[in-house]
Chain A
């Protein structure tokens, strides 16, 4: 069964606008972490933001915020004030704290920021 689902293969956004990248997850583990990574065309995987399942507040890191809706099992990434350098693949990932304690990744969303 798909544990991490990213339903948007590609997204376009105008420079300086905000964009939301969707991520839903499936787990029965009460303790887990959710992560977003950015992969630019150069290929490296860059950690952006983390949300723990017990965190009361939504995580924020600069222009990145994570809209965590636990009951809906969604962990959407919001990028505010998009920049041309934000054009990249974005991966949502989950780590379950029991069992296999390594990241499982979604299929990714390709974001293109247009001037």
Chain B
């Protein structure tokens, strides 16, 4: 079975550019999570969805960040405009329901120069 699929795996972009990260959760999973990992702050939850509805976006750092889940098999995390401090690994994860084990994608490594 396919796991959580993220794209792009690596992205280098210039400050001020828009960045869009994409995620396809495991088929049949109802909950989707976006995490960010940095050396300074570790793994932080940005936002999570249940049945395509955003449940908790309190971790989204500022208005430059937005996330959508238009259907059960696709989600995007957008940063506009990007800044160097956004450089991090962004993980998408999914679970069968809110209470179940969360499975992670391989991450999107973002560098903003």
A contact set with B: CB distance below 8 Å: 33, 35, 37, 43-47, 50, 91, 95, 97, 100-108
Contacts and interface: CB of A to CB of B under 8 A. Distances in A.
Contact of A45 (B48, B104, B109): B104
B102 A44 contact: no
A47 to B, nearest CB: 6
B98 A47 contact: no
Contacts, number: 46
A101 B30 CA distance: 13
Interface residues of B, number: 21
Interface string B46-70: 0010000001101000000000000
Contact of B106 (A35, A44, A103, A104): A44
B97 to A, nearest CB: 10
B12 to A, nearest CB: 16
Interface string B89-113: 1010100001101111111010000
A111 B19 CA distance: 34
Contacts of B33: 102-103
Nearest to A33: B99
B102 A47 contact: yes
A20 to B, nearest CB: 21
Contacts of B106: 43-44
B59 to A, nearest CB: 9
A75 to B, nearest CB: 15
A47 B43 contact: no
A47 B56 CA distance: 23
B64 to A, nearest CB: 22
Given A43-B106, A95-B102, A100-B45, 18 more contacts: A35-B101, A35-B102, A43-B89, A44-B106, A44-B107, A45-B91, A45-B93, A46-B104, A47-B101, A47-B102, A47-B103, A95-B99, A100-B58, A101-B98, A102-B45, A102-B56, A103-B45, A108-B42
